Amino acid sequence: MNANTTLAPITGIRLGTAAAGIKYPDRNDLVVIELPVGTACTAVFTRNAFCAAPVQLARQNLELRPPRYLLINSGNANAGTGKQGMEDAVACCEGLAELGDCTANQILPFSTGVIGERLPTARLIDALPQAMNNLTEYGWNAAAQAIMTTDTVPKLVSRQFTLEGHPITVTGMAKGSGMIRPDMATMLAYVATDAAITKTLLQECLQQAVEPSFNAITVDGDTSTNDACVLMATGMSGVSPITDGKSAAYQKLVATVTEVCMELARAIVRDGEGATKLVEVLVEGAKNKAEAKSVAYTIAHSPLVKTALFASDPNWGRILAAVGRAEVENLDIELIQIWLGDVCIVRNGGRAEDYTEEAGQAVMDQSELTIRVALDRGEVETRVLTCDLSYDYVRINAEYRT
């Protein structure tokens, strides 16, 4: 979504931004999100053992009390910073708590940026009054830009559906471009709704939405230290609370939240560092989910496949080799079929008899394409979104700290 597009606001939620000079001067790099009293909030976080101080603190605070504020900074991840990093994260929460008339454990902190450097706490705290003065329900666009690091575009989505004759809104933003691999969410994402729902069902809703979206994308196979996805429900739509996980109302909410998450996930992969192609890897006919994922991610993570995609080279042998090394037990290559788009490239253990380089090239020249693998071993399928690996990916990451 274009940065200038006005998203549907979520009643009760306000966002404010400020320039704290964390990495670059004169650009907004600090976001405060204010939640009304009574908001249900849940989150999922990275599974990286070296999770950042703000991740640890946000987890703790979320267990203690319903949050009143989210505090996000870009430019510095506050990761790999030990005890000092936790002290800095706590200090930032305390600074916001003084301004927000709440306790420090009612604030969830989030950071993204360079790993291993101390957070410039004083500059961040000094910028908090500016962010608080800028709080507005229409602050989604500015906030989405402020949390960007190597992203080239802000990522924002709004969707609506109807309950009891009233519109229900789901609005979300995300950042992410590199260090993207499933194991929670592999980026920062914030999704909100004005629906009323119990926290238990909200957590289930988030888990269902994350699996086919943020947990089904990969840019480079690296899981970040700071990943988080937050789902907030203000309950201010005027519609009865959702309390039944089998109700039509709950199913509508899950479907809409999932749609928002999938659109944001798609935007992250499309904006992968240096990416020129958006690629869906579809594996079908697997015995189980683990087997399907193993094949899909072996293809999606293969540097040889990804560089062939960048070159628009229909080098089907690289895809074939990736499938073969996916450690699928007793794999019968005679049964496998592989397609580029609608062009069959592999059949009966080798190149499809009717395959031509011209047909393969026509698919590879597209900016969005599908690699489909049929294993003929069962009924399970899985989908993964990935991208190519370009010269710019190397340049961006080689220059990341300069």
3-state secondary structure of 167: strand
For residue 72, the tally of other CB atoms under 10 A from its CB is 26
On whether the CB atoms of residues 308 and 277 are closer than 8 A, the answer is no
Q: What SS3 string covers 329-340? A: CCCCHHHCEEEE
Euclidean distance between CA atoms 68 and 100, whole angstroms: 8
Answer for the pair 53, 226: CB distance below 8 angstroms, yes or no. Answer: no
Q: Which amino acid is at 190?
A: Y
> Tokens 């499309």 map to which residue?
270
Tokens of 329: 């037990």
* Whether 42 contacts 199, CB under 8 Å: yes
Q: Which two tokens stand for residue 313?
A: 């080279």
The SS3 assignment for 89 reads helix
Catalytic one among 46, 186, 193, 258? Answer: 186
Residues found in the chain: 402
Helix segments in 51-81, DSSP class H: 53-64
In terms of Cα–Cα distance, which of 186, 171, 148, 219 is closest to 44? Answer: 186
Whether the CB-CB separation of 37 and 56 falls below 8 Å is answered with no
> Distance between the two ends of the chain, CA-based, in angstroms?
30
Question: Any residues with CB less than 8 A from the CB of 390 and at least 6 apart, and which?
Answer: 274, 275, 276, 310
Q: Report the C-alpha gap between 277 and 116 in whole angstroms.
A: 31
H/E segment holding residue 107: strand 107-114
Q: What Cα–Cα distance (Å) separates residue 115 from each residue in 1, 55, 234, 311, 387?
A: 29, 13, 33, 32, 24
Q: Are strands 337-340 and 380-387 parallel, antiparallel or unpaired?
A: unpaired
Distance CA 188, CA 186 (A): 7
Q: At 335, is the secondary structure helix, strand, or coil?
A: helix
Catalytic-residue membership of 81: no
Q: Which residues are catalytic?
A: 186
